[in-house]
């Protein structure tokens, strides 16, 4: 790179100026790249089982609930504890199933295909009597939608959508008078894997197709039209609304690329890394992929299973303002936006025994903001962590600097920092042909915010490990021509 703005692009030609062939714990910011925020314990105890779904639900009075589900229970977060809000009698999720949640007015809804639809206005959930069992629940335009259903009339219907009576979350008896109804989406094969609100409408996803649902009134009530292209989402949890009611948009992970949908057709966004991601993904567990929206920083984290993993263990991060990608690999059970109770002096002692136990965060952190929506994850210890701590360690690896003809004497690498790290170490690699293996060269510590060394070669590749918070937008190599052969 010769001062070119950096971009993580492992699928492109590594000799293109600015290419980063590999990064970890480095995410795209509005100005460049920065160390990924670390996971910070949210102050809640470990849950007894793997978390299989979570969502912050906002009520009309602007209060919120954070509900999570395991295979057998539903829990609600308090400031420093979990409350069991399960119905009487345990639930029965399979290990690869996930809860789906939605909010209808003052009523919180929870769905999984093994149990009747659940509802709660406060406290414990209960069965919605005679409701369909459904894998997914969503609310739009004063209707409640259930998708991928199993009920008495039609039986197990993986391609069916059922919607409630207008103004109801509990009446699913088809009737033009009440406007409750149902349809099967059969023009494309496969089960429904997701359903999300889209302004006043709804978008239904299969793995290789999409349907846009629009309210048309009696007698058809809701019309579902095929979206052009053989594109869909891999799960309900990878579909992220990023727009506004006036300008809705979804970003989602498909079977072989990432897409943005604005109501017309899905447009690919993952070209610089799709080959890397989809070559390492575990196809048997692709439906366990999940996404996390960092609204404040315009980033979406896509977690997926690699190799033989049965939990998401890899993560690529997309900034939809800058159209750049990063990476923050870690193994998780679940991801959700957590509405953090604001921290006060009165509540400090409840969460932390001493000031030394408090997290290392900046003054402007969401920890100190009222009702902040914070990206969060559950790790394999079943504990909730907010993605809001100081960056611990991050790395980048450049592409190849040089050419096939001339030797270059590389003397220095100068990062263009926006915020400099506490320390950093550089490792230089070199080779005399792009087809040859890389030779490991110097390890150099940062001094005066730069790395000084000498190496003559046709091609150089740089790896830098940063410790502490860092933000940068480019690397500037200092070299001279050292002859040719």
Helices (H), 181-305: 274-280
Q: Which residues contact 340 (CB under 8 A, 6 or more apart)?
A: 42, 366, 367, 369, 371, 372, 374, 386
pLDDT range class, residue 148, cuts 50, 70, 90: very high
What's the CA gap between 381 and 371, in Å, rounded? Answer: 25
Give bridge partners of residue 416 from the DSSP assignment: 474
What's the CA gap between 166 and 149, in Å, rounded? Answer: 19
By CB neighbour count within 10 A (0-12 exposed, 13-18 middle, 19+ buried), where does 157 fall? buried
The pLDDT of 453-476, averaged and rounded, is 96
Give bridge partners of residue 281 from the DSSP assignment: 306
Q: What global pTM score does this model have?
A: 0.92
pLDDT range class, residue 371, cuts 50, 70, 90: low
The pLDDT of 291-300, averaged and rounded, is 97
Contact yes or no for 147/134 (Cβ under 8 A)? yes
Sheet (strand 221-226) strand order: 192-198, 201-206, 210-217, 221-226
Contact yes or no for 424/464 (Cβ under 8 A)? yes
Whether the pLDDT of residue 328 is over 80: the answer is yes
What's the CA gap between 450 and 475, in Å, rounded? Answer: 10
pLDDT by residue (tens digit) across 269-278? 998 999 999 9
The pLDDT of 460-483, averaged and rounded, is 93
The pLDDT of 278-296, averaged and rounded, is 97
What's the CA gap between 471 and 34, in Å, rounded? Answer: 4
The pLDDT of 283-307, averaged and rounded, is 97
Give bridge partners of residue 24 from the DSSP assignment: 395
The pLDDT of 312-337, averaged and rounded, is 97
Please tell me whether residue 171 adopts helix, strand or coil conformation. Answer: coil
Give bridge partners of residue 299 from the DSSP assignment: 294, 319
Whether the bond into 332 is cis, omega within 30 of 0: no
- Which has the closest alpha carbon to 169: 146, 202, 144? 144
What's the CA gap between 59 and 55, in Å, rounded? Answer: 13
pLDDT range class, residue 341, cuts 50, 70, 90: low
Could you give phi then psi for residue 392, rounded to 5 degrees?
Answer: -95, -60
Contact yes or no for 148/194 (Cβ under 8 A)? no
How far is C-alpha 431 from the geometric centre of its chain's CA atoms? 37
- Which has the closest alpha carbon to 238: 288, 296, 307? 288
pLDDT range class, residue 359, cuts 50, 70, 90: very low
What's the CA gap between 337 and 321, in Å, rounded? Answer: 19
Cα dihedral sign for 421, 296, 253, 68? Answer: positive
Could you give phi then psi for residue 90, rounded to 5 degrees?
Answer: -70, 155
Could you give phi then psi for residue 78, rounded to 5 degrees?
Answer: -105, -170
What's the CA gap between 119 and 288, in Å, rounded? Answer: 25
Question: What pLDDT score was predicted for residue 478?
Answer: 94
DSSP 42: -
Contact yes or no for 223/216 (Cβ under 8 A)? yes
By CB neighbour count within 10 A (0-12 exposed, 13-18 middle, 19+ buried), where does 228 fall? exposed
Give bridge partners of residue 414 from the DSSP assignment: 476
pLDDT by residue (tens digit) across 69-103? 999 999 999 989 999 999 999 999 999 999 999 99
Question: What pLDDT score was predicted for residue 483?
Answer: 63
pLDDT by residue (tens digit) across 383-441? 999 999 999 999 999 999 999 999 999 999 999 999 999 999 999 999 999 999 999 99
pLDDT by residue (tens digit) across 198-244? 999 999 999 999 999 999 999 999 999 999 999 999 999 999 999 88
Alpha-carbon torsion, ordered 356, 379, 312, 342, to 10 deg: -70
Concatenated DSSP letters of 371-392 = TEEEEEEE-TTS-EEEEEE---
Tell me the residue ranges of DSSP E strands in 141-208.
143-151, 155-163, 181-184, 192-198, 201-206
């Amino acid at each position: 790179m010769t001062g070119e703005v950096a971009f993580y692009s492992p699928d492109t030609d590594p000799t293109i100026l600015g290419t980063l062939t590999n990064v970890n714990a480095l995410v795209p910011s509005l100005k460049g790249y920065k160390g990924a925020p670390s996971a910070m314990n949210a102050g809640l105890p470990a849950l007894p089982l793997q978390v299989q779904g979570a969502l912050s639900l906002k009520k009309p009075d602007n209060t919120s609930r954070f509900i999570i589900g395991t295979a057998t229970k539903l829990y609600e977060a308090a400031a420093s504890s979990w409350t069991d809000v399960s119905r009487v009698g345990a639930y029965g999720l399979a290990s690869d199933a996930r809860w789906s949640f939605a909010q209808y007015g003052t009523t919180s809804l929870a769905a999984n295909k093994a149990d009747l639809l659940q509802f709660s206005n406060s406290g414990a959930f209960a069965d919605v009597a005679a409701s369909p069992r459904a894998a997914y629940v969503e609310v739009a335009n004063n209707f409640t939608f259930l998708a991928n259903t199993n009920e008495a009339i039609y039986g197990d219907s993986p391609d069916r959508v059922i919607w409630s009576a207008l103004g109801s979350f509990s009446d699913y008896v088809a009737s033009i008078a009440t406007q409750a109804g149902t349809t099967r989406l059969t023009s494309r094969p496969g089960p429904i894997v997701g359903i999300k609100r889209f302004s006043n409408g709804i978008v239904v996803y299969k793995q290789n197709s999409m349907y846009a649902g629009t309210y048309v009134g009696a007698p058809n009530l809701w019309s579902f039209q095929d979206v052009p292209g053989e594109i869909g989402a891999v799960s309900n949890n990878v579909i992220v609304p990023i727009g506004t009611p006036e300008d809705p948009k979804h970003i989602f992970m498909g079977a072989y690329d990432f897409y943005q949908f604005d109501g017309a057709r899905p447009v690919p966004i993952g070209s610089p890394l799709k080959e890397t991601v989809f070559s390492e993904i575990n196809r048997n567990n692709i439906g366990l992929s999940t996404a996390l929206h960092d609204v404040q920083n315009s980033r979406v984290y896509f977690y997926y299973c690699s190799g033989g993993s049965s939990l998401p263990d890899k993560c690529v991060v997309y900034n939809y303002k800058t159209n750049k990608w990063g990476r923050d690999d870690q193994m998780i059970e679940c991801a959700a936006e957590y509405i953090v109770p604001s921290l006060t002096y009165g509540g400090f002692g409840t969460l932390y025994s001493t000031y030394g136990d408090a997290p290392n965060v900046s003054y402007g952190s969401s920890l100190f903001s009222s009702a902040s929506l914070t990206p969060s994850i559950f790790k394999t210890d079943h504990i909730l962590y907010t993605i809001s701590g100081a960056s611990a360690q991050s790395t980048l690896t450049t592409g190849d600097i040089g050419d096939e003809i001339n030797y270059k004497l590389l003397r220095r690498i100068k990062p263009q920092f926006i915020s400099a790290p506490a320390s950093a170490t550089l490792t230089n690699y070199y080779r005399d042909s792009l087809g040859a293996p890389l030779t490991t060269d110097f390890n150099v510590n940062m001094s005066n915010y730069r790395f000084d060394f000498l190496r003559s070669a046709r091609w150089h590749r740089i790896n830098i490990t940063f410790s502490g918070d860092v933000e940068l937008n480019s690397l500037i190599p200092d070299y001279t021509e050292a002859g040719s052969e």
